[in-house]
Structure 1
Amino acid sequence: MPSRRRTLLKVIILGDSGVGKTSLMNQYVNKKFSNQYKATIGADFLTKEVQFEDRLFTLQIWDTAGQERFQSLGVAFYRGADCCVLVYDVNVMKSFDNLNNWREEFLIQASPSDPENFPFVVIGNKVDVDGGNSRVVSEKKARAWCASKGNIPYFETSAKEGTNVEEAFQVIAKNALKSGEEEEIYLPDTIDVGSSGQQRPTGCEC
């Protein structure tokens, strides 16, 4: 069937503070990594052009602060997301244990029309640390969690070395594309809680 010319795909990255959300985004978009840790305040986004089957799309990747005090970014931030990326640090068990909280938070705030089938992707980051000797979350454990949530795609990455980052975002983009094809899009240049609430229908009779 002919699909509408959708050009903008919105991806949201969630996870605890310090797991490498910003580093993953920068590695994918700019091919850069910084050892200087700077906490993201509120939310920020980067864009990257991606091509599928002779169509050009802009991937708009939103990065959030992991600190709890910024979790109340609200509906305007989550609204219109086409894919949600859950990131944890393979060396920090708590960041893995919190994946469920982040997933629930997203489903509550974004309230997608089909929550059962909304596309998530899970990334276990920092596999390079200490040559892998300090990891505490096994790949088997992470894959079992993803399977229990409806077979969420899973990747292990090193934002520092660029390992698997490109591959992960290719799947993220493809899943975002599949999820968003029948929905109208409204995305403000900035987060505007006042106006964004009314302008994008949650379920479009397309």
Structure 2
Amino acid sequence: MNQEMNGVEVERVEEKIDYVFKVVVIGDSAVGKTQILSRFAKNEFCFDSKSTIGVEFQTKTVTINGKLIKAQIWDTAGQERYRAVTSAYYRGALGAMLVYDITKRQTFDHVARWVEELRSHADTSIVIMLIGNKGDLVDQRVVHTEYAVEFAEDQGLFFSETSAFTGENVNSAFFKLLEEINKVVSKRSLDCNNGKANAIIHKGLEIDIISPPELEITEFKKLPSCSC
């Protein structure tokens, strides 16, 4: 009986969902992508976490500006041998969380390459959040915050530092990303109704936004960084 009731409750929640936003979590291997996602989706941290093979995803339903939004978050492998596979999963993504490790300079040095790859395969309107993870290891920091802030401002990215271990800023970073995606979707929906843009929007389904020719990535230039 309880299982039947739970099934009915899940169906009712699904019926009420306004949008499904696809988000990809990218970055070098071992920067904490899976841990960040686990902290956000289930408020868990796994001490014996293994490297992601290929692509995995989790979901979480949140309310933003009165809309019930299901975040479908894809956790991609950071190893080079999986890059050709994971790039296919960028299609349809409305947001990306690009993660580096504040204790490993190389992971930050590769951020520019990840941005380039993302913009080559994803929609031009994608919202990108740059994340400096492992903020709890402040005594081991080698990537200073001001470097990341400067890069984010130059590239038109949002920025936050997090700790998947303690949970600091993880939820606020995800919510900021989803809020900005919702703004883009709302604007495109309005423009579509006014005949200014071509957008495919379905209630309760993943939204695949098609950018009009005049709207390029410069929409996100000089966006303020996330003050999480």
- TM bucket (normalised to shorter chain) is 0.7 to 0.9
- TM-score, length-scaled by structure 2: 0.74
1:41 equivalenced with 2:53 (yes/no):
yes
> Offset of 1:176 from its aligned partner?
1.9
- TM-score, length-scaled by structure 1: 0.82
- Matching residue of 1:193: none
1:159 equivalenced with 2:164 (yes/no):
yes
Unpaired segments of 5 or more residues in structure 1?
A: 190-199
> Offset of 1:53 from its aligned partner?
2.5
> Offset of 1:180 from its aligned partner?
3.2
1:94 corresponds to which of 98, 106, 112:
106
Assess if the C-alpha contact under 8 Å between 2:54 and 2:86 holds in 1: no
Q: Give the aligned length.
A: 182
Q: CA offsets, 1:121-162, max 9 Å, x none?
A: 011000112xx1111000111101111112x21111100110
CA, structure 1 residues 179+33, in 2 after alignment: closer, same or farther (shift >3 Å)? same
Q: CA offsets, 1:37-72, max 9 Å, x none?
A: 311110011000010232201011111000011111
Report the structure number with the largest CA radius of gyration. 2
1:122 corresponds to which of 124, 130, 134:
130
How does 1:1-206 map onto structure 2 within 5 Å?
A: 6-73=18-85, 76-110=88-122, 112=123, 115=124, 118-129=126-137, 132-150=138-156, 152-181=157-186, 182=188, 183-184=199-200, 202-203=210-211
CA, structure 1 residues 80+6, in 2 after alignment: closer, same or farther (shift >3 Å)? farther
Q: Which secondary structure state, in structure 2, belongs to the residue aligned with residue 144 of structure 1?
A: helix
Unpaired segments of 5 or more residues in structure 2?
A: 1-16, 189-198, 214-228
> Offset of 1:174 from its aligned partner?
0.8
What letter corresponds to residue 180 of structure 1 in structure 2? V
Assess if the C-alpha contact under 8 Å between 1:10 and 1:176 holds in 2: no
> Offset of 1:106 from its aligned partner?
0.9
Task: Tell me how far apart the structure 2 counterparts of residues 44 and 185 of structure 1 sit (CA, whole Å).
Answer: 25
CA, structure 1 residues 51+96, in 2 after alignment: closer, same or farther (shift >3 Å)? same
